[in-house]
């Protein structure tokens, strides 16, 4: 599972997105260009707390609970499954994962992040921001 404890979660930035970015192969007509491969997976600070609580419960020595049971108790099973699948897919397909936080929920986030990653191919400052967001 992706470790949400390592994410920089700012209480003022309530909305979070994780995306997977890959690079087109040399056989592609866009060889060497980055593109949005996975995500975005959306979650909030409350979701981060629930996942952390589930993770703690799953290692509790007194109340023996599996991660699946703990995730169900804390109502975060879907998020954990999505993040786990994203991490495995990115690893298998040599993609990088990036975390973004903002004050508001992004409408049509797929198109927004698709455009953002496409702009990183052309603009060094956007490429730097993407690199800084790598997890």
| Domain spans in the chain, listed from the N-terminal domain onward | 4-132
- The per-residue pLDDT for 42 is 96
H or E segment to which residue 38 belongs: strand 34-44
- The per-residue pLDDT for 8 is 72
- The per-residue pLDDT for 11 is 80
Q: State the Cα–Cα distance between residues 94 and 44, nearest whole angstrom.
A: 27
- The per-residue pLDDT for 36 is 97
Closest to 41 in 3D by CA, of 91, 94, 4, 92: 4
- The per-residue pLDDT for 72 is 94
Residues 103-130: b if buried by 16+ CB within 10 A, e if exposed: eeebeebeeebeebbbebbeeeeeeeeb
**135 residues of the chain, pLDDT tens digit each:** 556 556 677 888 999 999 999 999 999 899 999 999 998 999 999 999 999 899 899 998 888 889 899 999 999 999 999 999 999 999 999 999 999 999 999 999 999 999 999 999 999 999 999 999 999
Beta strand 15-23 with 96-102 is antiparallel
- The per-residue pLDDT for 4 is 58
- The per-residue pLDDT for 119 is 97
- The per-residue pLDDT for 1 is 54
The CA distances from residue 135 to 11, 42, 91, 113, in Å, are 19, 15, 12, 16
Q: State the Cα–Cα distance between residues 7 and 16, nearest whole angstrom.
A: 10
């Amino acid at each position: 599972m992706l470790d949400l404890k390592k994410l920089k979660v700012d209480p003022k930035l309530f909305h979070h997105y994780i995306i997977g970015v890959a690079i087109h192969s040399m056989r592609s007509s866009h060889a060497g260009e980055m593109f949005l491969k996975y995500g975005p997976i959306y979650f909030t600070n409350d979701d981060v707390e629930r996942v952390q609580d589930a993770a703690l419960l799953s290692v509790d020595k007194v109340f023996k609970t599996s991660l699946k049971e703990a995730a169900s108790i804390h109502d975060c099973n879907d998020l954990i499954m999505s993040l786990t699948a994203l991490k495995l897919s990115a690893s298998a397909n040599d993609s990088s994962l990036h975390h973004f936080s903002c004050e508001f929920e992004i409408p049509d986030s797929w198109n927004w992040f698709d455009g953002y990653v496409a702009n990183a191919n052309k603009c060094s400052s956007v490429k730097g921001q993407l690199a800084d967001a790598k997890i």
